[in-house]
Amino acid sequence: MRLEGTVCPMPTPTTGRDIDTDALAEYTSYLINGGVHGLFPCGSIGEFPSLTRAQRSNVLETVVDSADDVPVLAGCGHTSAGDVAEHIRDADAAGVDAAVVVTPYYLSTTQDGLQRFFETIADDSSLPIVLYNIPALTGEELSVDLVSTMAEHPNVVGLKDTSGDLTFLYDVIETTPSDFDVFQGASELAIASLELGASGLIAGPANVFPRPVAQLYDSYRHSDYDHARQLMNSVVNPVVSTMNDIPTAAAMKHLVRRSGIDIGTPLPPLPQLDDAQRERLDHCYDSVLASVTV
């Protein structure tokens, strides 16, 4: 299975502290109708550390039921290899296509420790594994050598890199097999990463403007570089810039509500937005909406 294109890292619709499955099904259909090439529930934007195991399963089942033939990558992150294995089993039972496993957090470790962690998980996984590197949030960073080593494992099929380090991304692409799929998770580096040979983008702005962000990837792949750059400057960069110092999940939920689907507010411990933050996000949404076809 090849994973490529614009994958949307989905926020989790909630009502109070419960999952709003009706809103989630509606929202999943909205993203698919917008042309995204893949869905990524239960990731960072999906507030996975704030969800129970049962809630994660509920999210994945709902997304898969509404996803048609669009690939679903399930966030299965946890600090415990045993808990990751349980999340992967739940994801497999829900019918997802691959499991995304973030580096463990809280306990500091080494590259050897990370290798033990990922090998333990991959050896027993019933799903293909996508490694997830986001050192700003986990405090742990995958090395190029470790990614290259893990890429030799038959169950490890790709990497989501949100380090913001283009040299790291380039080196991973150069030292892994051609069928190892590398995704850029920092949307502001979308075109630069495609130029380096990335398989695709896991792009937060696709939550709000799915069609333009999907078209950015499609335009680039069809060598329409001017259109790709135009979408980068009119959609991706304004959204990323506006959200730069606003909690991501909270900002996404607000922007999605502006697009017509109420998916609730962030779960504790994330804060609510203040009036100034909402005003900035509203201004960004209105400006982008005026410049593109959604």
Per-residue pLDDT reduced to its tens digit, 218-244: 999 999 999 999 999 999 999 999 999
Catalytic residue among 27, 30, 160, 170: 160
Query: What confidence category does residue 162 fall into, taking pLDDT thresholds of 50, 70 and 90?
Result: very high
**What pLDDT sits at residue 35?**
97
The pLDDT score that the predictor gives to residue 292 is 84
Q: How many CB atoms lie within 10 A of CB 67?
A: 21
Q: What mean pLDDT do residues 43-59 have? A: 98
Mean pLDDT of 253-269: 96
More confident residue, 291 or 164: 164
Catalytic residue among 30, 105, 106, 132: 132
**DSSP conformation class of 79:** S
Write the pLDDT tens digit of every residue in 62-91. Answer: 999 999 999 999 999 999 999 999 999 999
pLDDT for the residue numbered 270:
95
pLDDT over 80 (residue 293): no
Average pLDDT score, the chain: 97
Q: What percent of the chain has pLDDT over 70?
A: 99
Cβ within 8 Å of residue 231, ≥6 positions away: 212, 213, 215, 216, 219, 292
Q: What is the mean pLDDT of residues 246-252?
A: 97
* pLDDT confidence of residue 151: 98
β pairing state of 200-202 and 14-15: unpaired
Encoding tokens for residue 291?
């410049």
CA gap 111, 116 in Å, rounded: 9
Q: Could you tell me where the DSSP H helices lie in the chain? A: 21-33, 53-66, 81-94, 111-124, 135-138, 144-150, 166-175, 190-196, 210-221, 225-231, 237-242, 248-258, 275-291
Whether residue 182 is predicted with pLDDT greater than 70 in this model: the reply is: yes
Which residues in 266-286 are b (16+ Cβ under 10 Å) and which e? bbeeeeebeeebbebbeebbe
Q: What are phi and psi of 240, to 5 degrees?
A: -60, -45
As a whole number, mean pLDDT of residues 56-65 equals: 98
Structural domains in the chain, sorted by start: 5-227 (3.20.20.70)
Task: Give the separation between CA 30 and CA 27, rounded to whole angstroms.
Answer: 5
Catalytic annotation present for 160? yes
- Confidence at residue 2, expressed as pLDDT on a 0 to 100 scale: 73
Look up the pTM and report it.
Answer: 0.97
Helix residue ranges per DSSP H, 13-80: 21-33, 53-66
Q: Is the pLDDT of residue 288 over 70?
A: yes
Residue 202's pLDDT is: 98
For residue 1, the model assigns a pLDDT of: 62
Which amino acid is present at 80? S
Q: Please indicate whether residue 132 is annotated as part of the active site.
A: yes
Q: How far apart are CA 18 and CA 15, in angstroms?
A: 5
Specify whether the CB–CB gap between 147 and 180 falls below 8 A. no
- The pLDDT value recorded for residue 222 is 98
